[in-house]
A and B are shown apart, each in its own frame.
Chain A
Amino acid sequence: MAGGTTLQQRRRFLENISRAAGGLALFSMGLGVYSRQAQSLPAEALRPPGASINEKECQSACVRCGLCVRDCPYDTLKLATLVDSVALGTPYFEARKVPCEMCEDIPCVKACPTGALDHALTNIDDARMGLAVLVDQETCIAFQGLRCEVCFNVCPLQHKAISLDRSHNARTGKHALIIPVVHSDACTGCGKCERACILEEAAIKVMPLKLAKGELGQHYRLGWKEKEKAGGSLVTPDLKHEYNLPEGATYDYEGEGLKQAAPDNSMNDTPFGESALDRLNKGFK
């Protein structure tokens, strides 16, 4: 009798334990898979200044309290809800809707209780929320030769983050194209340019840094930079290139092209004068 009950008890115990373990495993797996999925941040969702570029780090440090949202004076930041494809409860903004105004005192970073927004960020110009990219040269009217420059004009770091470069307008042949160019060393990704772009759909867009920036292979070395760093050529110095030119002629490859040597009078009696026309004329004579 007693043996039977212990056996039953043992069986029930084992059943309970295995059920608990099974449930634990099932739930953990589901949660684990979902957490992986939740790490994908849509490109148009930008994180507040000071947030880690690594989405996983950003999510694990953020407790979703919304204090950054509360202290944002421009209602730029909002918390993700269940239907947004941003990790639940985390703060983000969309540049085309409301860009970051780059407050000098960075209240959102100060408000963060966990350091998910890095408190070491004290100069807003050092923020890297993303990087503006002029993604569509086909619709950007500057590329059509029209004066726009709105993105340049609203840029809080004019001339540094966006500058205007002139180039030749091949269509008219006599005008200039005034092209906005973004510089990643200064652009904070505030999104004011994207917000201000006059097109129906912005031609300049702030993208996550990972999407916007290329990265040179670590093994790659640019010879001229290495040379500059070392203060001289690291390999056998290049031989000065010699062009196979007519005697006396030089080639200026920075502008003027082939430079004829002064006409050599000693060659006058040969049939080959300095120009083909001379030779023809000579024949007639």
Chain B
Amino acid sequence: MATKSIRNRVGEEAVQQKGWLVAHKWLLLRRISQISILMIFLAGPLFSVWIIKGNMTSSLLLETIPLSDPFVFLQTLASGVLVDENMIIGAVIIAAFYFMVGGRVYCSWVCPVNAVTDAADWLRRALNIRNRITLSRDNRSILLVAIILVSMISGMLVWELVNPVTMIQRELVFAMGFSWVLMLAIFILDAFFSRRAWCGHLCPMGKFYSMMGRYSPLKVNALHRSQCDDCMDCYAVCPEPQVIKPALKGDEKTSPVIFSGDCTNCGQCIDVCAKDVFSVGHRFITPIKEIKNSDTSQREVSL
């Protein structure tokens, strides 16, 4: 069992134990989700199949259902603009959806920037590039506050003048402009300077969705945390590693559920864990049952 010292690749043990496909299940599902959402948007302009019209800031599904980004809606509210009801209805629908599945599901299952930052993180791990700049995760909160404040003062959607996230989403669906330059910049920043700099430390949109998903019923948990052999692989792949510890290293009285809204429900911890510690469930899972079940097995393995 003591393969930790000779193992050099994150997730290798999981691949050996579960097979490549199972060890990449959530990653593949996420990519499928990201690509198919993009394809639904592109089906109109490319193949004239208009399932959805517009882009992720606001769109019309099947010519009837309005969908809008609640973060952009919040900015319009802050800037004091009274938008039409379609925008409001759309924002409520999307907000309700992300409340149910977890706010930052947007980040890991929908947002196309995720593919860029995941690739940067993969490269960083593969080349063993070390952090050059340490950023605080509070930066995104500061940015979020600043954006709301400046929107209120200026009465304009200031963040949408520079927002790389909505920019790439828009330009993928409409004509590609120069948002790829910003994507390249984010990639370089993430890969060579600071780990998960954009999504984990800077993006105010991520912070907004994180707040929205704080009380979501759908949460990843470390239900079988007693099986953990401290290989640290989950910390290595997790885009928000600080969220794992309270659930994984909690005592019998603390919940195994990862409550933090920062968790993106990406499932990379599930993929990478050879011990099947993590799983997806609801937020009301209690630790008592779990300890009864796996108490004996845990003793056998570790002692």
Chain A residues within 8 Å of B, Cβ to Cβ: 20, 23-24, 27-28, 31-32, 34-36, 38-39, 56, 59-67, 69-71, 78-79, 81-84, 87-89, 111-115, 119
CA distance in complex: A67, B90 (Å): 14
Which residues of B are found within 8 Å of A20, using beta-carbon distances?
138, 142
8 Å CB contacts to A: which residues of B78-118? 79-84, 86-87, 90
Which residues of A are found within 8 Å of B143, using beta-carbon distances?
27
- From A58, which residue of chain B is reached at the shortest CB distance? B156
B246 interfacial contact with A, CB 8 Å: no
Q: Say whether A89 contacts B83, CB under 8 Å.
A: no
Q: Say whether B159 contacts A31, CB under 8 Å.
A: yes
Other-chain residue from A31, A70, A78, A111 in contact with B150 (beta carbon distance below 8 A): A31
Q: Say whether B150 contacts A28, CB under 8 Å.
A: yes
Q: Say whether A59 contacts B179, CB under 8 Å.
A: no
The smallest beta-carbon distance between B152 and chain A, in angstroms, is 11
CA distance in complex: A39, B83 (Å): 20
Q: Say whether B146 contacts A31, CB under 8 Å.
A: yes
Segment at the interface with A among B18-26, B123-131, B168-176, B211-219? B168-176
Q: Say whether B170 contacts A115, CB under 8 Å.
A: no
5 CB contacts below 8 A, A to B, read A63-B58, A79-B175, A81-B175, A88-B160, A89-B170
- From A23, which residue of chain B is reached at the shortest CB distance? B142
Which residues of A are found within 8 Å of B145, using beta-carbon distances?
24
B60 interfacial contact with A, CB 8 Å: yes
B239 interfacial contact with A, CB 8 Å: no
- From B58, which residue of chain A is reached at the shortest CB distance? A65
> Contacts A63-B76, A63-B87, A66-B173; is A89 near B167 (CB within 8 Å)?
yes
B57 interfacial contact with A, CB 8 Å: yes
Q: Say whether B81 contacts A82, CB under 8 Å.
A: no
CA distance in complex: A31, B79 (Å): 14
Which residues of A are found within 8 Å of B45, using beta-carbon distances?
70
* In the complex, the 5 A-B pairs of residues with the closest C-beta atoms, listed nearest first: A81-B177, A65-B58, A115-B84, A113-B86, A114-B83
B47 interfacial contact with A, CB 8 Å: no
CA distance in complex: A201, B161 (Å): 32
Q: Say whether A65 contacts B54, CB under 8 Å.
A: yes
Which residues of B are found within 8 Å of A70, using beta-carbon distances?
44-45, 53-54
B149 interfacial contact with A, CB 8 Å: yes
Q: Say whether A88 contacts B90, CB under 8 Å.
A: no
The smallest beta-carbon distance between B292 and chain A, in angstroms, is 41
- From B68, which residue of chain A is reached at the shortest CB distance? A113
Other-chain residue from B138, B142, B157, B174 in contact with A27 (beta carbon distance below 8 A): B142
The smallest beta-carbon distance between A134 and chain B, in angstroms, is 33
Q: Say whether A65 contacts B150, CB under 8 Å.
A: no
Q: Say whether B156 contacts A59, CB under 8 Å.
A: yes
CA distance in complex: A135, B6 (Å): 78
CA distance in complex: A39, B60 (Å): 28
- From B145, which residue of chain A is reached at the shortest CB distance? A24
The smallest beta-carbon distance between A186 and chain B, in angstroms, is 29
Which residues of A are found within 8 Å of B58, using beta-carbon distances?
63, 65, 67, 113-114
CA distance in complex: A196, B177 (Å): 28
CA distance in complex: A18, B181 (Å): 33
CA distance in complex: A38, B69 (Å): 22
CA distance in complex: A65, B73 (Å): 12
The smallest beta-carbon distance between B135 and chain A, in angstroms, is 11
Q: Say whether B60 contacts A32, CB under 8 Å.
A: no
Q: Say whether A64 contacts B160, CB under 8 Å.
A: yes
Q: Say whether A89 contacts B166, CB under 8 Å.
A: yes
Which residues of B are found within 8 Å of A28, using beta-carbon distances?
146, 149-150
Q: Say whether A67 contacts B158, CB under 8 Å.
A: no
Other-chain residue from B69, B174, B182 in contact with A69 (beta carbon distance below 8 A): B174
Q: Say whether A34 contacts B161, CB under 8 Å.
A: yes
CA distance in complex: A111, B84 (Å): 11
Q: Say whether B178 contacts A60, CB under 8 Å.
A: no
Which residues of A are found within 8 Å of B178, using beta-carbon distances?
81-83
Which residues of B are found within 8 Å of A31, using beta-carbon distances?
146-147, 150, 158-159, 161-162
- From A112, which residue of chain B is reached at the shortest CB distance? B84
Which residues of A are found within 8 Å of B86, using beta-carbon distances?
113-114
B221 interfacial contact with A, CB 8 Å: no
Q: Say whether A34 contacts B158, CB under 8 Å.
A: yes
The smallest beta-carbon distance between A108 and chain B, in angstroms, is 12
CA distance in complex: A24, B148 (Å): 11
The smallest beta-carbon distance between A191 and chain B, in angstroms, is 20
Which residues of A are found within 8 Å of B57, using beta-carbon distances?
63-65
Which residues of B are found within 8 Å of A38, using beta-carbon distances?
161
A23, A27, A83 — most chain B CB neighbours (10 Å): A27
Which residues of B are found within 8 Å of A34, using beta-carbon distances?
158, 161-162
CA distance in complex: A32, B68 (Å): 25
